[in-house]
Amino acid sequence: MYAIIKTGGKQYRVAAGEKLKVEKLAGDIGSELLIDQVLLVGAGDDTKVGTPLVPGASVKAKVLGHGLGDKVQIFKMRRRKHYAKHQGHRQGYTEIEITGISG
């Protein structure tokens, strides 16, 4: 059984037992999350497609940890204008493990 969920402005295909990194979510390490924005639920030949969400469907996940992604370097420069700007960014993420899919 698999599902397509929406969290953090992105869509993910998930199945029970998978681990994935999503945009930062509120929740302590070890706590359970209930993701109710399910766009599609599939099990073999049986597929339920939402318009836009599948009613009554949900995905349970366990928070494994929080962290920061790789550093992205931003460099802006205007030639011949004596202007250069250095900046860096590290996006926060939450690592979750899918424990169950219902719907």
* Rounded alpha-carbon distances, angstroms, from residue 12 to 6, 27, 32: 6, 19, 18
User: What residues contact residue 2 under an 8 Å CB cut-off, 6+ apart?
Assistant: 13, 14, 15, 41, 42, 43, 101
pLDDT of residue 25: 95
For 25-56, the pLDDT digits (tens) are 999 999 999 999 999 999 989 999 999 999 99
Sequence spans of domains, the chain: 2-66+94-102
Residue 41 β-bridge partners? 3, 48
pTM: 0.85
For 17, other C-beta atoms within 10 Å of its C-beta total 9
pLDDT of residue 77: 98
